[in-house]
Amino acid sequence: MLTKRIIPCLDIKDGQTVKGINFISLKSVGDPVELARAYSDQGADELVFLDISATVEGRKTFTGLVERIALNINIPFTVGGGISSVEDAAVLLRAGADKISVNSSAVRNPDIISGIASRFGSQCVVVAIDAREVDGIWRVTTHGGSRFSDKELYSWARQAESLGAGEILFTSMDHDGTKNGYACEVYRRLSGILDIPVIASGGAGTAGHICDVLSDDGGRADAALAASVFHYGEILIPALKRELAEHGIPVRL
């Protein structure tokens, strides 16, 4: 049985780690390099770095910051934000990223998924999907959740997989930062229709929430991503993993 992964997320704006609720009211929570090193030392399985304002501001991800983080950690490292071409991905992989996350650019130009996958392999491609439920339909958004697209979550996830995505990282905008738990029923459905791993994001408030989204009786996600509960020390990764193991969820201790 494959182990489930615990993934802290560094949302970066103006070179600092930030966190908000439903993608707004952002507050600085610390230096990204220091946080990355701490999470690596605590036993996080992977790290995700998202330059959340790069697409909105029409610029590229901070390559220098990616290099500094990569030098300070020894776990897989996913980078996203402002990546609009295969060459953008190449630059970040050379800077130390292990995987590339595409979101708005993939909605606009799905061929970027197959382009990165064909050059570097599907294992390097994470398609991030931000969506909000509107009248019972999960509508995909872009530009940091600020614009609705014409895509629907489940059909877009299947299309992304067919184009070469190696993983799907889904964030529920309705749950993001609320600490009220993940949208487990959505992850359960995604895991049922996809053959690639699903990373759950948005809503972690307790260890129990993470247990729920990873469990076979809950969301059946392959990995749980969280930010504020880790940044503020509300959940410590070693203790979280021990609790998950006690509930029969396979994790790397």
**Catalytic residue positions?**
11, 130
Rounded to whole angstroms, how far apart are CA atoms 104 and 97?
A: 19
Strand boundaries in the chain, DSSP class E:
5-13, 16-21, 24-30, 47-51, 77-80, 99-102, 125-134, 137-142, 147-152, 167-172, 198-201, 223-226
Given a contact cutoff of 8 angstroms between Cβ atoms, the answer to whether 217 and 208 are in contact is no
Nearest to 101 by CA among 68, 135, 66, 149: 66
For CA atoms 242, 234, 33, 113, the dihedral sign is: positive
Q: Is 122 helix (H, G, I), strand (E, B) or coil?
A: helix
Given a contact cutoff of 8 angstroms between Cβ atoms, the answer to whether 191 and 217 are in contact is no
Given a contact cutoff of 8 angstroms between Cβ atoms, the answer to whether 140 and 172 are in contact is no
Nearest to 212 by CA among 170, 173, 181, 252: 181
